[in-house]
Amino acid sequence: MISQFFILSSKGDPLIYKDFRGDSGGRDVAELFYRKLTGLPGDESPVGMHHDDRHFIHIRHSGLYLVATTSENISPFSLLALLSRLGTLLGDYCGSPGEATISRNVALVYELLDEALDYGYVQPPSTEGVRNFIQAEAVVSKPFSLFDLSSVGLFGAETQQSKVAPSSAASRQVLSSRSDQSQKNEVFLDVVERLSVLIASNGSLLKVDVQGEIRLKSFLPSGSEMRIGFSEEFCVGKSELRGYGPGIRVDEVAFHSSVFLDEFESHRILRLQPPQGELTVMRYQLSDDLPSPLPFRLFPSVQWDRGSGRLQVYLKLRCDLPPKSQALNVRLHLPLPRGVVSLSQELSSPEQKAELGEGAFRWDLPRVQGGSQLSGLFQMDVPGLPGPPGQGPSASAPLGLGPASLSFELPRHTCSGLQVSFLRLTFRPCGKANPHKWVRHLSHSDAYVIRI
Amino acid sequence: MTDSKYFTTTKKGEIFELKAELNSDKKEKKKEAVKKVIASMTVGKDVSALFPDVVNCMQTDNLELKKLVYLYLMNYAKSQPDMAIMAVNTFVKDCEDPNPLIRALAVRTMGCIRVDKITEYLCEPLRKCLKDEDPYVRKTAAVCVAKLHDINAQLVEDQGFLDTLKDLISDSNPMVVANAVAALSEIAESHPSSNLLDLNPQSINKLLTALNECTEWGQIFILDCLANYTPKDDREAQSICERVTPRLSHANSAVVLSAVKVLMKFMEMLSKDLDYYGTLLKKLAPPLVTLLSAEPELQYVALRNINLIVQKRPEVLKHEMKVFFVKYNDPIYVKLEKLDIMIRLASQANIAQVLAELKEYATEVDVDFVRKAVRAIGRCAIKVEQSAERCVSTLLDLIQTKVNYVVQEAIVVIKDIFRKYPNKYESVIATLCENLDSLDEPEARAAMIWIVGEYAERIDNADELLESFLEGFHDESAQVQLQLLTAIVKLFLKKPTETQELVQQVLSLATQDSDNPDLRDRGYIYWRLLSTDPVAAKEVVLAEKPLISEETDLIEPTLLDELICCIGTLASVYHKPPSAFVEGGRGVVHKSLPPRTASSESTESPETAPAGAPPGEQLDTVPTQGDLLGDLLNLDLGPPVSGPPLATSAVQMGAVDLLGGGLDSLIGAPSFVAPPAAAVPANLGAPMGSGLSDLFDLTSGVGTLSGSYVAPKAVWLPAMKAKGLEISGTFTRQAGSISMDLQLTNKALQVMTDFAIQFNRNSFGLAPAAPLQVHAPLSPTQTVEISLPLSTAGSVMKTEPLNSLQVAVKNNIDVFYFSTLYPLHILFVEDGKMDRQMFLATWKDIPNENEAQFQIRDCPLNAEAVSSRLQSSSIFTVARRNVEGQDMLYQSLKLTNGIWVLAELRIQPGNPSFTLSLKCRAPEVSQHVYQAYETILKN
């Protein structure tokens, strides 16, 4: 069971400290944790850090460290899940949890902790479950205004570049004060997919998988029933393809416990009564068979003159998205052999950028339209590189070049083809305007690797 | 208005100001003041001086204020126990409050105040709250019992709270059930013997029902609790599995992993032929794969668990190789773990795919990862024979890159490939030799030197190569020096004419100029071997080495079973048993997998003792001997490994292989004078003696009527110490012949063959009279009984204790050592009856200081029974007298080596204690003769 819980700022200052077992070394433990974490070598996992009999499990959440310690043989999964749940909970109650928010709301945080953990036993810390027991009111930095909605982004998607600005929806607390009920009339539903692809140097596809999740943030009162519909050809499992045609298929699905599946088999409708706050409605994954072509193809060619140490890389990037779609923040990262001294480039359009840094070069393409093709020619000098013997130009790549990896975001696109066709609220809260419903789709790269 | 301003007040009069505010009449002001106090407390300021003032605020209707005060109390009550008493009244009152929130709050807080004086007051309110109508209060009270137990266990038992807690398991509210289960599990762990969580089919059924209703966290508690249950037969196991399986698709990974644990454990009981078994296997894979889509930290935890599962049941994930392909943006610790699993899953079917991947990895940037990838290629070659050729050519390609660290790793693994497939790939030696100069790491240098020495006859300039290493002999690491010494000796034995000078040079470097004792010892051994008996030297040094085993660094099966029972916990992340890192007695109950029991035989099979359970008495093997010997005779390629289960056994194998070879040749040619075990200092076995005699004393089997008493078989070599081979045995003497009855059980995953046995020299010259005959290979879980005839014609060396016997057993996996004690009565010969005159004369002749007296207690037999029982074990009664109501028995016995022992046994009717006087020319045997008496008379 959990012995202690603390929240540290990004600099290691303790913001919240709670001891459940009375068996601990007090606050020094927080310091000890921070020292251990900062001194951790790269090839060791931060999961099982321990000092004598004390084991640390932590996550980073909005720049804070949420840390639990235990001296027993306990499931690290449940602790990690708990910590991220606590992070969400803090967000639901206090708005975006940051150092300032936490120190403004110490009493509230302690109250939440008391409900979520008793004697180190995890109590169900759902936003709704805890709500009745909480007395203190959150002190929010700035009042929520409707104007913020103009810049609504994705709240759940932490993309690799973290370039999606946190929206106002994300930083707003779900539970505003009890008196003021009028604003709570919105539902956000995000379908976010992460795409991992591995392409061999001969262009054949070695591995592709899609991890998707549907996240819901509801400001409606708890228990409001809603229905999420998918297109009918959506099916689960390897054998279950219906009829001909492309079909939308996923391999594995897991649902949140508030989801009722009675209409899922027949009509592909999820009925759910979500508690207020944020939750993952559905998680799914798909591997190997994508219904649509991969978003990007890279055609590299490498010329390497060992004698002069000149390395020439020509990259052609083709975007196979439908012409109306586009990819944003595309970045190609190509590790280079050690000792590259200079880079010269010829790029196919002016908005692109390429630069050299830390043993690799980056090629940035802020926006790539579907169906377009971009290219770049890069020349480098690599003196004194070991490699296969032989003189003169050769087409084989020197050691240390590649693999290329791409990162990107595809707004309004899901790689699995899964689309939410409707989101209906079963009943309308009386006396109020129709709730705002926001449904968004997004894919982004997780590891999109092309070997050279 | 924000709380942040509370942090800014740092003036001197702060405490005074707060005090004033706390005593204010206005509620709002009070609340703000308490908030400030809490804020100061959180940042570590000492505000304990305000204790009375804060406690005064406790009696309030304002729940928010009350909570704040309670928060303060929890923090400071321990430092001010006397003041804390002040709060008790309010607590007790709050426990009766109509608002369940306040009742629960009071119970929760009281439990957190770890002050003894308060606990007394806690009992009554707690008893009420445990039966409260509100489930929220009940679950809080359930947790409070655990808290109280931690502070004062006796009190909890006296007050009968444990029974109430047990009742809560059948509560209607799943939240209460979950907390009660959690509390009980924890209390039960601190009292392993108590039968608190008495799991039976009924309570299991209740738990399974609650499982469907409760929250994900409750599900984790319940699943973990289920995992501790042992179903009575396979039908019950299957029905539990069926009800647990839906948890596999839960969104919370912790629930999934707990469910996997239950299934993995109960699957052990299901027969593999069952359709259901196959279905279950298929269902396990997808959720495990899903776990890998999480953040790197979670992935790492999942991978460590999958690593265990793959070792236990590779079939679960055999089609999922691709998910373990490394992503470029994985953190290095995830990459290494994936690599490990890839190799475990490698098979003939997917080896091409794996090799292609590994080759890619070997050209990446990260040096550590590249090294591991190169090693992995070697491991593939050893694991999948069909791929060996491709692996070797891949390695050669990598060597051609001339990248320093890649070349070195490749050479290290090629050495292992040579060991596994001798006389197949030696054609590459030339290529290896080209890279001799670029090797700068000890391990690679040592591997290269080993190769040169081993194949000296094929390398024309082997002497030059080795000589070049010899120049900087003293700058090399110990590993390289040892290797160089062995390699040159090998070279000398193969090409004696040209290399005499070289070998003398290295021997003198090793013996005279080195301060490393291992090196010196090995040098001396070689020197003497070479100077006294070159033929023997050749047999020892150039003996054929056993092949290295296929799977390296497998977790040893008994540990693996324990870890499987800990899936999802920290133990499964560290790959260490919980006892290795959990303090005190908490949670250190050894867990083991249930034995496979079919429902039909469950009623009548008494032998359902857990298969993986460690034996009650731990007999020490003699691991140090192995290392010592390995060091002396052999070419270990690595620092001596002190045998942790996780150490790469490729290295360990290396450390003892020559000995294995030696043993082989010993058995082939028994005339060889010095058995390797003789190099072991005899007293190494000593500490085990007492443990063993305890064991014999405890045993209570029925001896055979004819022939001397036979002790029941005891475990001599536990499976944990011998890579899965368990040996138990006993000694018997029947009709004048001694034999060692052995029972060999294979608890490993692979078939065992090529058994051989060898004794160290011992006090009575016991030696195997025939080779160990195991006719068929011993397949996993199979047991074989063997009776090994012993002779007493072996070479004699006095051991300490006198009756200890050091045994080496070899199989295709390794050589194992153990030490055991034999009861002396197996040595009593059948013609040990002395005639009366002779007895009298001898008794007088033996000086009195050789007489030893012993008490045999609690023996209810009369003189006749004693006499006849002893006679069946060849202790003969020469004469019997009755002196003053006492029976005096005069007895004689003779040992196999001709030593006579004379005894006088005094028996008083009605007194169960006998007095035994022993006289013998070799008084050191008396103690053991006495023990033999004890053993015979009491069994």
Looking at residues A93-106, what average pLDDT do you find? 80
Query: What pLDDT, on the 0 to 100 scale, is given for residue B911?
Result: 79
Torsion of CA B12, B18, B24, B27, to 10 degrees: 150
- Which residue stretches of A124-276 are H helix? 127-131, 168-171, 264-267
Q: What six digits make up the tokens of B756?
A: 């051989």
pLDDT digits (tens, 9 = 90+) for A371-398: 888 888 888 887 765 555 444 445 566 6
Asked if the bond preceding B801 is cis, omega within 30° of 0, the reply is yes
- Minimal CA separation from A172 to chain B, in Å: 17
Looking at residues B491-511, what average pLDDT do you find? 86
Pairing of strands B756-759, B767-768: unpaired
CB-based contact A76 B301, cutoff 8 Å: yes
Half-sphere exposure of A345 (CA within 13 A, CB side): 17
DSSP sequence for B223-259: HHHHTT---SSHHHHHHHHHHHGGGGGBS-HHHHHHH
Q: Which of A57, A61, A72, A77 has the highest number of chain B CBs within 10 A, making it the mutation to test binding with B?
A: A77
CB-based contact B569 A75, cutoff 8 Å: yes
The CA–CA distances, whole Å, from B833 to B315, B879, B894, B934 equal: 65, 11, 8, 20
Q: What six digits make up the tokens of B501?
A: 């000078």
- Minimal CA separation from A24 to chain B, in Å: 13
Among A222-226, B370-374, B425-429, the range scoring the smallest mean pLDDT is: A222-226
Q: Is the pLDDT of residue A91 over 90?
A: no
Q: Which residues of A touch B285 (CB under 8 A)?
A: none
CB-based contact B218 A405, cutoff 8 Å: no
CB-based contact A135 B64, cutoff 8 Å: yes
CB-based contact A121 B329, cutoff 8 Å: no
Q: Read off φ and ψ for residue A356, nearest 5 degrees.
A: -100, 140
Query: What pLDDT, on the 0 to 100 scale, is given for residue B534?
Result: 81
Q: What six digits make up the tokens of A256?
A: 């949140």
Query: What pLDDT, on the 0 to 100 scale, is given for residue B701?
Result: 37
Looking at residues B385-395, what average pLDDT do you find? 88
> For residue A19, which of B42, B90, B36, B118 has the smallest C-alpha distance?
B42
What is chain A's mean pLDDT, rounded?
77
Q: What six digits make up the tokens of A417?
A: 């083809």
pLDDT digits (tens, 9 = 90+) for B695-709: 333 333 333 344 567
Asked if B631 and B640 count as a contact pair (C-beta separation under 8 A), the reply is yes
Query: What pLDDT, on the 0 to 100 scale, is given for residue B619?
Result: 36
- Minimal CA separation from A275 to chain B, in Å: 13
Q: What six digits make up the tokens of B930?
A: 């006495």
Looking at residues B113-120, what average pLDDT do you find? 78
Q: Which residues of B touch A1 (CB under 8 A)?
A: 182, 186
- Containing A112, the helix (H) or strand (E) segment is helix A106-116
Same-fold call for A4-131 versus A296-382+400-411: no
Query: What pLDDT, on the 0 to 100 scale, is given for residue B551?
Result: 61
Q: Which residues pair with A4 in a beta bridge?
A: A19, A69
Q: Which residue has the higher pLDDT, A184 or B873?
A: B873
Residue carrying the six token digits 């039968």 = B195
Query: What pLDDT, on the 0 to 100 scale, is given for residue B304?
Result: 92
Confidence tier at B309 by pLDDT (50, 70, 90): very high
User: How far apart (Å, rounded) are the C-alpha atoms in residues B619 and B604?
Assistant: 31
Half-sphere exposure of B143 (CA within 13 A, CB side): 31
Q: Is the pLDDT of residue B648 over 50?
A: no
Residue carrying the six token digits 């030297």 = B537
Residue spans of the domains in chain A: they are: 4-131, 186-291+414-445, 296-382+400-411
Residue carrying the six token digits 């303060």 = B72
Cβ contacts of B229 within 8 Å, gap of 6 or more: B199, B204, B240
pLDDT digits (tens, 9 = 90+) for A110-144: 888 888 888 888 876 666 666 667 766 766 554 44
Confidence tier at B691 by pLDDT (50, 70, 90): very low
Partner residue opposite A105 with nearest CB, options B3, B368, B587: B3
Q: Which residues of B touch A29 (CB under 8 A)?
A: none
Task: Residue count of chain A, please give it.
Answer: 452
User: How far apart (Å, rounded) are the C-alpha atoms in residues B163 and B184?
Assistant: 10
User: How far apart (Å, rounded) are the C-alpha atoms in residues B37 and B52?
Assistant: 13
- Minimal CA separation from A432 to chain B, in Å: 30
Among A35-39, A158-162, B583-587, the range scoring the smallest mean pLDDT is: A158-162
Q: What is the ipTM of this complex?
A: 0.72
pLDDT digits (tens, 9 = 90+) for A263-313: 888 888 888 888 777 888 888 888 877 778 888 988 888 887 777 778 888
Task: Residue count of chain B, please give it.
Answer: 939
CB-based contact B327 A446, cutoff 8 Å: yes
CATH number of A4-131: 3.30.450.60
Considering the domain A186-291+414-445, what is its CATH architecture? Sandwich (2.60)
Q: Degrees (nearest 5) of the Cα angle B181, B185, B191?
A: 145
Pairing of strands A436-450, A186-199: parallel
Cβ contacts of B893 within 8 Å, gap of 6 or more: B828, B832, B874, B875, B876, B900, B901, B903, B929
Query: What pLDDT, on the 0 to 100 scale, is given for residue A396?
Result: 60
Cβ contacts of B119 within 8 Å, gap of 6 or more: B148, B151, B152, B155
Asked if B873 and B867 count as a contact pair (C-beta separation under 8 A), the reply is no
Asked if B99 and B91 count as a contact pair (C-beta separation under 8 A), the reply is no
- Which residue stretches of B533-671 are H helix? 534-541, 557-564, 570-574, 623-633, 649-668
Confidence tier at B626 by pLDDT (50, 70, 90): very low
Q: What six digits make up the tokens of A75?
A: 């499931």
The CA–CA distances, whole Å, from A353 to A328, A365, A373, B114 equal: 14, 7, 16, 63
Task: Give the single-character DSSP code of B797.
Answer: -
- Minimal CA separation from B364 to chain A, in Å: 6
What is chain B's mean pLDDT, rounded?
78
Tell me which long-range contacts A140-144 makes (C-beta under 8 A, separation of at least 24).
A140/A94, A140/A95, A140/A173, A140/A176, A141/A95, A141/A100, A141/A101, A141/A104, A144/A168, A144/A172, A144/A176, A144/A183
pTM comes to: 0.65
Among A374-383, B138-147, B590-599, the range scoring the smallest mean pLDDT is: B590-599
pLDDT digits (tens, 9 = 90+) for B737-760: 888 888 888 887 788 888 888 888
The CA–CA distances, whole Å, from A265 to A237, A252, A268, B287, B297 equal: 12, 14, 6, 21, 35
Say if B283 is an interface residue toward chain A (CB within 8 Å).
no
Task: List, as ranges, residues 50-79 from B with C-beta within 8 Å of A.
Answer: 63-64, 67-68, 71, 78
Q: Is the pLDDT of residue A147 over 50?
A: no
CB-based contact B250 A254, cutoff 8 Å: yes
Rounded to whole angstroms, the maximal C-alpha distance in chain B is: 113
The CA–CA distances, whole Å, from B201 to B229, B233, B236, B242, B894 equal: 10, 11, 8, 15, 60
pLDDT digits (tens, 9 = 90+) for B651-677: 333 333 333 333 333 333 333 333 333
CB-based contact B182 A121, cutoff 8 Å: yes
CB-based contact B289 A59, cutoff 8 Å: no
Rounded to whole angstroms, the maximal C-alpha distance in chain A is: 82
Considering the domain A296-382+400-411, what is its CATH architecture? Sandwich (2.60)
Among A409-423, B167-181, B600-614, B810-824, the range scoring the smallest mean pLDDT is: B600-614
CB-based contact A107 B38, cutoff 8 Å: yes
Among A382-386, B146-150, B313-317, the range scoring the smallest mean pLDDT is: A382-386
> For residue B766, which of B784, B747, B788 has the smallest C-alpha distance?
B788
> For residue B743, which of B728, B759, B761 has the smallest C-alpha distance?
B728
Query: What pLDDT, on the 0 to 100 scale, is given for residue B659?
Result: 37
Say if B146 is an interface residue toward chain A (CB within 8 Å).
yes
Q: Which residues of A touch B323 (CB under 8 A)?
A: 209, 287
| Residue B328 identity (one-letter amino acid) | Y
Residue carrying the six token digits 């439908």 = A322
Q: Is the pLDDT of residue B802 over 90?
A: no
Say if B179 is an interface residue toward chain A (CB within 8 Å).
yes
Q: Count the Cβ atoms, other than its own, within 10 Å of residue B248.
A: 21
Asked if B676 and B626 count as a contact pair (C-beta separation under 8 A), the reply is no
Q: Is the pLDDT of residue B375 over 50?
A: yes
Say if B565 is an interface residue toward chain A (CB within 8 Å).
no
Chain-centroid distance, C-alpha A265: 29
